[in-house]
Chains A and B, each alone.
Chain A
Amino acid sequence: MAQKTIEEIMNSEVVLSIKDLVIKFNLRGQELTAIRGASLDLHKGESLAIVGESGSGKSVLNKSFMGLLDSNGRIESGSIMYNGQDLAKFKTEEDWIKIRGKEIAMVFQDPMTSLNPLKAIGKQVQESIELHQNLKGEEAKKLAVEILNDVGISEPERRYKQYPHEFSGGMRQRVVIATAVACNPNILICDEPTTALDVTIQAQILQLLKNLQDKYNLTIIYITHDLGVVANVADRIAVMYAGDIIEIGSSEEVFFDPKHPYTWALLSSLPQLGVKGEALYSIKGTPPNLFKEIKGDAFAPRNPHALKIDFVERPPYFEVTPTHKARTWLLDPRAPKVEPPPLVKKMQELYIEAGDKVE
């Protein structure tokens, strides 16, 4: 499969553009800032992976594109431009109905519970088609069977009539993906699409999503905390920490030339990089309390390389290459030179070696 080059992606049009988005929640009388001024451009046809630990705001960010925030959450400021409309201004269900499914569809984490247990799976796929593709009855059914076939369900005619409990987890996730694809969306958000599946199935599902991306011309956002998933499928990676995107770049740039200390720490914790006999690396401390206002760089308290300014002023984005930027003062020309941790350097070396061999 031809992976798109990073240049092709950056040159294709921007389908979704998020600017300085702030999302707040009211929780037990307190105000929690879940997204703190995140910005992001999504390009047509790309696969963007959003990675980060639990609570970093990955899911909240994506839910805000579909108006699926919980009722105590709201968009405080910023914009989400899609097709000339600002989704951040959407209030009513009527507004969102035009976006949900039709423009942006979503695949959820747990396929075991994502399907209605009392409806034949074919009907659930057909429901998407009837909602968004102006087909009814037999025609819609024919297309539903076709899509079931596309997501790798054998004997789709027969299985159309079966119920979710007659399917395994991996097969159910295929059905869930089918219901999303059947909406014929522009953007497909996959929220931890493989987390609930066992390892052998994970690869199949990721491969399936790749194939569907080509066939249906989808732009895909993967939300995940599994860097293994990311390495397999993403053209670009956005790293989130405490409600902000702290580094974004092509997969190669983020994996092999990361700039933000948090990205370093995240990569260093990959079990695959561990040395036998040594304890695995883990990031010290806990993520910041989002009920309080965060001053400077949110990662500073856990960052062994933190500078004084990290505690005072929030870093802007520094551009490393036209496709790669990171929010860290370490990239400021006045900053002292800090070497990435050994594990990250090891990855860089491996990468350069591999590159040499290819040439």
Chain B
Amino acid sequence: MKYISTRLFRSLLTLIIVVTVVFLLMRMMPIEGYFGANFDKLDEAQKTVKLQNLGLLDPWYTQLKNFYTDLLKGNLGESITYRPKVAITKILGDKLITSLKLGMSSLVVSLVLGLGLGILMARFKGKFMDKLGTVYVVGANAVPAVIYYLLIQVFFTDIFNLPLLYDKSNPKSWILPILCLSLVNIAYYAMWIRRYMVDELNKDYVRLARAKGLTNKEIMSKHVMRNAFVPMAQYLPASILYTVSGSIYVESLFSIPGTGGLLVTAIQRQDNTLVQALVLLYSSIGIIGLMLGDILMAAFDPRIKLANEGGSR
């Protein structure tokens, strides 16, 4: 528990530093961005009024103080340019849920299929199944994703008679985006679980288990699979949380109103409040994800003790 509280404290510190730095960087950008296409049409006085209203003419420390006091009250502010005068929470709310829903479905699909494929590949190492899997893994990684996203969109909509674009109320339209999101991840999980299982299978304890009279199946299910999963457990929570950040390609291809690419847009449009909220969100996710990963790994592997850091492992 002590470990977790110190870790949380440090995470909070990291978070504050990250957010503050981003906050200050945004203030150092040229002011043109706040006006977009209207920049040339407005005169100096109008511009000053607008900046004044946004509080951008206050000294930076006042702005920072205001930001943190609002944040403590749970107020993320309103969007400046992306959707002016709309609360950030309202903008993000729907988008996050959309991305999370698709992302989580894809993650479940990837884990089930990826781990399944990887386990099969490890069991039949060097045989046909393994080679077929390797072809898939190499293919999914080597071919640029956009190419097969397009192919999937073009051909699968025809063949399986599925909708071309995402429609919130039509679950059938979710299938293709989820498939696209999963393809690379399936390959990723299959590759790693296969590799970790093959590592485990070559260890001496497997030989002892075999000499004890366990069948291959029992050795796989009772010993190897769990041990091979430990190194993957560390990254799992982070992957789950990261699904909220969406995917630019897939979301624009199927016109999904998700968070994919939102941060890029927000920075381009110089929507300070939106950028700050997104940075806060993504950083927290990264930090919490890593922490949960460490805790999860410690739960699986008794050799890992979180309390005494800098130990033998």
Chain B residues near A100 (CB, 8 Å)? 210-213
- 0/1 interface trace, chain A 50-74, chain B, CB 8 Å (1 if under): 0000000000000000101000000
Chain A residues near B203 (CB, 8 Å)? 113
- A68, B227: Cβ atoms closer than 8 Å: no
- Size of the B side of the interface (Cβ < 8 Å), in residues, is 22
Knowing A110-B204, A118-B302 touch, does A97 contact B212 (C-beta < 8 A)? no
- B204, A183: Cβ atoms closer than 8 Å: no
A221 CB, min distance to chain B CBs, angstroms: 13
A260 CB, min distance to chain B CBs, angstroms: 31
CB-CB nearest in chain A for B216 = A93
**Which of the four size classes fits the interface of chain A?**
20 to 34
- A97, B213: Cβ atoms closer than 8 Å: yes
Chain A residues near B216 (CB, 8 Å)? 93
Knowing A163-B302, A165-B302 touch, does A118 contact B212 (C-beta < 8 A)? no
Contact of A101 among B211, B222, B227 (CB under 8 A): B211
- B212, A180: Cβ atoms closer than 8 Å: yes
A193 CB, min distance to chain B CBs, angstroms: 13
Chain B residues near A113 (CB, 8 Å)? 203-205
The answer, yes or no, to whether B301 is at the interface (CB within 8 Å) is yes
Chain A residues near B204 (CB, 8 Å)? 108, 110, 113-114
The answer, yes or no, to whether B214 is at the interface (CB within 8 Å) is yes
A106 to B212, CA, bound (A): 8
A238 to B207, CA, bound (A): 25
A48 CB, min distance to chain B CBs, angstroms: 18
- B213, A119: Cβ atoms closer than 8 Å: no
- B212, A101: Cβ atoms closer than 8 Å: yes
- A176, B213: Cβ atoms closer than 8 Å: no
- 0/1 interface trace, chain B 174-218, chain A, CB 8 Å (1 if under): 000000000000000000000000000001110111111111100
Chain A residues near B215 (CB, 8 Å)? 93, 97
- B208, A176: Cβ atoms closer than 8 Å: yes
The answer, yes or no, to whether A312 is at the interface (CB within 8 Å) is no
- In this complex, which of B203, B204, B210, B211 has the most chain A Cβ atoms within 10 angstroms of its Cβ? B211
- B211, A68: Cβ atoms closer than 8 Å: yes
Contact of A105 among B207, B211, B230, B300 (CB under 8 A): B211
- 0/1 interface trace, chain A 101-136, chain B, CB 8 Å (1 if under): 110011010100111111100000001100110000
Q: Residues of B with Cβ closer than 8 Å to A?
A: 203-205, 207-216, 222-223, 226-227, 230, 300-303
Q: Residues of A with Cβ closer than 8 Å to B?
A: 66, 68, 93, 97, 99-102, 105-106, 108, 110, 113-119, 127-128, 131-132, 163, 165, 176, 179-180, 183
The 4 A-B residue pairs with the shortest CB-CB distance, nearest first, are A101-B213, A113-B204, A100-B213, A106-B211
Q: List 25 A-B contacts (CB under 8 A).
A: A68-B210, A97-B213, A97-B215, A99-B213, A105-B211, A106-B208, A113-B203, A113-B204, A114-B204, A114-B205, A116-B209, A117-B303, A118-B226, A118-B227, A118-B230, A118-B302, A127-B212, A127-B214, A128-B212, A128-B213, A163-B302, A163-B303, A165-B302, A176-B208, A179-B212
